[in-house]
Amino acid sequence: MKTTKKKKPVKIIHGNSKKITRDARGRIEKGSKLALKYETEKEQLQLINRYCKHIASGYSKESFEEAGHETVLRYAEKLIIESGKTEEFTIYGTVLIHRALRVSQKQWEHWGIQGMLNKIPFFNSQIWALNMRNRFNWDKEDKNPKEMKIERKITVNFVQDED
């Protein structure tokens, strides 16, 4: 009779020996060292560039595998603050990220136009509209109007011409 040994659970360790903390569902918790794995300026700039390409291709912020949206923004802001080259990193950092978000919205709008013109086979306009609402906050502006209502009383006096 053979006895089988039970395998010990494996601790997940990042390449630079920093432990990754996971919650009950297996998601990486906030404060985990995984989010801080890009140490050099060059690595951080490369991460920002890859993130911008991902976003500009039409993918969501949440589907970027290497780091979360907040982490990438934190790297961009860190590069701006810590370096003396504020103009260069502003362009590379937050400005580039916001530009990628606008390019993503343009890409989704393009797909919508192509779908309405029947240039995309089996285009589902309801799924497209749902994506637009969720990704770019469509219809949410209507619920919180930014317009101010100002009421004024205006008195108009009519003068008759005497002929």
Give per-residue pLDDT as tens, 137-158. Answer: 887 655 555 565 677 777 878 7
Q: Which helix (H) or strand (E) holds 105?
A: helix 96-116
pLDDT of residue 37: 78
Please provide the average confidence, as pLDDT, over all residues in the chain: 76
More confident residue, 14 or 63: 63
pLDDT in tens, 37-58: 788 888 888 999 999 999 999 9
> pTM of the entire structure?
0.60
Q: Is the CA virtual torsion 74, 75, 81, 86 positive or negative? A: negative
Instruction: Assess whether pLDDT exceeds 50 at residue 111.
Output: yes
Instruction: Assess whether pLDDT exceeds 70 at residue 16.
Output: no
